[in-house]
């Protein structure tokens, strides 16, 4: 699969790299509403349609994520749980304070979620 | 026949009743089954709803925790920013104070230099004037030894006067009190004046001077005295740092972005300048290095003043040089120098 989908906005970039089956989020996501997050939600939903087996969500360079953004991630994690044939690995960074705390909560929605905190 | 009829009647009546019962029972079983299915469906629906509720509660918790954390982070950053702003404000105040002090110090220094220059020049002019008188008398009395000695006094005195004038120029530039007098003059004539003045110095080190200044260069409007002084400075430097070599002075014009520029290039085949020395070349009181001062003399003010003069006229001096090969200094000035109204006084010629 050579799919390369990408969304770029003011101060952020989200893209899927088929090689490594990874969704990468970079920059600061501070969109104002769930509606504004729609393109990103659609990208995540589209990726699930590929049935990637193991899917990695790389957030190591996502410096900021607002409350609407964390809701999008929660919904995505629930969608992964419902799909049953996808394992989710979340790559996070210890250097970004919110990641260690907020991302742990995602495991409560999807107990099989593997959270990897890198230095 | 009758008997068989009776038997049939007896056995048929209960049979019909049993069939009806069975039907009812079957219907009841079916109803029960449907109810069980419905119940199971409702249970599943309830479980789904419960799951959705749990999910929503979890999402809400996550969202709230996230928001609180971000708020705390923001508060921490705001505190840091507030501290940084305070530091910046304090720094700004200190800078303003320092600037005021520095400006006052510069003003006092310039005033001191101007006064001192005046105080030094008055007796020096007296020495030079009396030297002239004594030289004339010695000539009349036919005392050649005295004439030669008095000539040395006069030469040293003139040199000292030149240095004092340079210091005065610099202090006036720094104090913003150096006026620019604009006049229109013929470039080739002005260059010829400069060449005449510099000729003895060219011969002193057995150098050769080549001048390329076509008469069609025509006129320019600038401060002729300042340009004259800057060109003399470049040429005297070239003569000083070149021995038995070639000095070339070339004047040419070039139109750039609607402004016509005149370039005065003074090129020599002298000792040249290293890249390290180039860095401080236009700094006041700075010569290429200490040994240069010892060997060649000078105050290290000439280039700094010349550059300031050129900049006051909207131009500049640039240099390219290679140690051991030679240097090329270029003065660039607009043909028509214009000054900002507030800057300096302008004389009408």
Q: Which of B55, B61, B66 sits opposite A98 (nearest CB)?
A: B66
Q: Which residues contact B331 (CB under 8 A, 6 or more apart)?
A: B227, B230, B231, B234, B263, B264, B265, B266, B306, B310, B315, B316, B317
Percentage with pLDDT > 90 across chain B: 49
**Residue B75, φ and ψ in degrees, nearest 5:** -65, -45
Q: Which of B55, B58, B66 sits opposite A67 (nearest CB)?
A: B66
Which residues from chain B sit within 8 angstroms of residue A71, using beta carbons? Answer: 59, 63
> With an 8 Å Cβ cutoff, is B69 touching chain A?
yes
Using the beta-carbon criterion (under 8 Å), do B66 and A109 form an inter-chain contact? no
Contact pairs from chain A to chain B, CB under 8 Å:
44
Q: How far apart are CA B132 and CA B145, in angstroms?
A: 15
Taking Cα atoms as reference points, which of B199, B219, B233, B194 lies closest to residue B317? B233
- Decide: B166 and B305 in contact? Cβ < 8 Å: yes
Q: How far apart are CA B303 and CA B230, in angstroms?
A: 8
> A-side interface with B, Cβ within 8 Å?
64-67, 70-71, 74-75, 78, 97-98, 101-102, 105-106, 108-109
Q: How far apart are CA B79 and CA B73, in angstroms?
A: 10
Q: What is the mean pLDDT of residues B175-201?
A: 90
Share the mean pLDDT of chain B.
Answer: 86
Banded model confidence at residue B342, pLDDT cuts 50, 70, 90: very low
Which residues from chain A sit within 8 angstroms of residue B73, using beta carbons? Answer: 97-98
pTM of this prediction? Answer: 0.50
Q: Which residues of A69-104 are buried (b: 16+ CB within 10 A; e: fewer)?
A: bbbbbbbbbbbbbeeeebebebbbbeebebbeebbb
Banded model confidence at residue B252, pLDDT cuts 50, 70, 90: very high
Alpha-carbon distances of A43 from A8, A51, B114, B177, rounded to whole Å: 12, 14, 76, 69
Q: Does position A9 have pLDDT exceeding 70, yes or no?
A: yes
Using CB atoms within 10 Å of the CB of residue B306, give its burial: 0 to 12 exposed, 13 to 18 middle, 19+ buried. Answer: buried
**Residue B287, φ and ψ in degrees, nearest 5:** -105, 175
- For the complex shown, is ipTM > 0.90? no
The model's pLDDT over B12-36, given as tens digits with 9 standing for 90+, comes to: 555 667 788 888 888 888 989 999 9
Q: How far apart are CA A6 and CA B320, in angstroms?
A: 51
Nearest CA in chain A to B58: A109
Nearest CA in chain B to A104: B62
Nearest CA in chain B to A63: B70
Percentage with pLDDT > 70 across chain B: 87
- For every residue of A13-49, DSSP letters joined together read EEEEETTTTEEEEEEEE--SSTTTTHHHHHHHHHHHH
pLDDT of residue B15: 64
Q: How far apart are CA B55 and CA B70, in angstroms?
A: 22
Q: In what order do the strands lie in the sheet with A12-17?
A: A4-9, A12-17, A22-29, A54-65, A87-93, A114-118
At B297, list the tokens: 């003399």
- Decide: B169 and B125 in contact? Cβ < 8 Å: no
Alpha-carbon distances of B76 from B49, B70, B73, B172, rounded to whole Å: 40, 10, 5, 52
């Amino acid at each position: 699969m050579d799919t390369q989908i990408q969304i770029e906005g003011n101060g952020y970039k989200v893209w899927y790299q088929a090689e490594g089956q990874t969704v990468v989020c970079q920059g600061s996501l501070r969109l104002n509403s769930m509606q504004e997050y729609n393109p990103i939600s659609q990208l995540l939903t589209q990726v699930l349609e590929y049935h990637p087996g193991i899917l990695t969500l790389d957030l190591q360079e996502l410096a900021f994520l607002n409350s609407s953004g964390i809701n999008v991630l929660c919904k995505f994690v629930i969608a992964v749980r419902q799909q049953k044939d996808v394992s989710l690995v979340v790559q996070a960074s210890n250097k970004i304070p919110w990641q260690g705390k907020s991302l742990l909560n995602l495991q409560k929605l999807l107990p099989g979620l593997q959270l990897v905190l890198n230095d | 026949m009758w008997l068989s009829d009776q038997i049939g009647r007896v056995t048929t009546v209960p049979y019909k009743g049993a069939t009806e019962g069975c039907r009812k029972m079957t219907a009841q079983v079916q109803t029960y089954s449907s109810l069980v299915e419905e119940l199971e469906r409702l249970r599943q629906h309830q479980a789904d709803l419960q799951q959705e509720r749990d999910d929503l509660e979890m999402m809400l918790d996550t969202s709230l925790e996230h928001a609180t954390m971000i708020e705390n982070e923001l508060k921490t950053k705001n505190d840091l920013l507030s501290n940084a702003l305070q530091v910046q404000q304090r720094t700004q105040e200190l800078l303003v104070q320092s600037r005021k002090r520095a400006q006052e110090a510069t003003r006092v220094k310039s005033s001191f230099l101007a006064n001192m220059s005046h105080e030094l020049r008055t007796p020096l002019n007296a020495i030079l004037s009396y030297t002239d008188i004594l030289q004339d008398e010695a000539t009349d009395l036919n005392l050649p030894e005295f004439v030669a000695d008095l000539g040395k006094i006069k030469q040293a005195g003139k040199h000292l006067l030149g240095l004092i004038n340079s210091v005065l120029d610099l202090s006036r530039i720094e104090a913003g009190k150096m006026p620019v007098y604009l006049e229109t003059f013929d470039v080739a004539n002005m260059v010829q004046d400069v060449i005449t003045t510099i000729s003895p110095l060219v011969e002193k080190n057995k150098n050769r001077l080549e001048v390329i200044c076509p008469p069609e260069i025509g006129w320019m409007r600038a401060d002729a005295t300042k340009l004259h002084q800057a060109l003399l400075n470049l040429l005297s430097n070239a003569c000083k740092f070149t021995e038995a070599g070639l000095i070339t002075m070339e004047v040419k014009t070039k139109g750039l972005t609607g402004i016509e520029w005149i370039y005065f290039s003074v090129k020599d085949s002298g000792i040249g300048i290293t890249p390290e020395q180039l860095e401080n070349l236009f700094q006041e009181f700075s010569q290429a290095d200490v040994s240069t001062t010892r060997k060649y003399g000078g105050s290290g003010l000439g280039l700094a003043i010349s550059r300031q003069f050129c900049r006051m006229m909207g131009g500049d001096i640039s240099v390219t040089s290679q140690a051991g090969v030679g240097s090329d200094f270029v003065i660039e000035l607009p043909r028509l120098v214009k000054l900002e109204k507030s800057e300096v006084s302008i004389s009408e010629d």
